Amino acid sequence: MGDPSPVGPLQRRLALEHEAVWLTSLSAGRFPALDDAARAALRRHERARDVLVARVAAAGATPVGPQAAYGVPPRSVDQARQRLADVAERMRHRAARGARQRGRPSRGRPVAAGLGAGGDELGRRPQRLPRTRPRLSSRVSGRRRGPR
């Protein structure tokens, strides 16, 4: 199903970063209400994309390139926000899946360089992933909660 090479997850994340760069630059140019936040998100995505390109190239693979377009461009601010939230959700899902595959639990944080990190700037608050480890109760952890 997936690419068994260690570069495969980097390539998939790079493909999402390419889509995020396309969508945020389009949103910044078309919708004045999103201009400042989208430009800030665009700079983060461009940096993340450049880092991923360098990591894939350093691993000896050819980095995946961007597509000419990623569907029909959004026609309204609401559509742009929805599409940005969708890309952010896919990036969070990819990051959580990668963490599970590496044997590390997800900490429920949005992707640092992804739209999730700036999602609230674009009018959408990023959703946190559920905790993978339950919190210990005070009895198990040995902490006391006041006088007994």
Per-residue pLDDT tens digits for 44-99 = 999 999 999 999 999 999 999 999 989 999 999 999 999 999 999 999 988 887 66
Q: What string of DSSP letters covers 107-123? A: -SPPPTTSHHHHGGGGT
Burial class (CB in 10 A: 0-12, 13-18, 19+), 95: buried
Residues 6+ apart with CB under 8 A from 58: none
**146 pLDDT tier (thresholds 50, 70, 90):** low
- Are 83 and 124 in contact by the 8 Å Cβ rule? The answer is no
User: Does the predicted TM-score (pTM) go above 0.75?
Assistant: no
- Are 23 and 73 in contact by the 8 Å Cβ rule? The answer is no
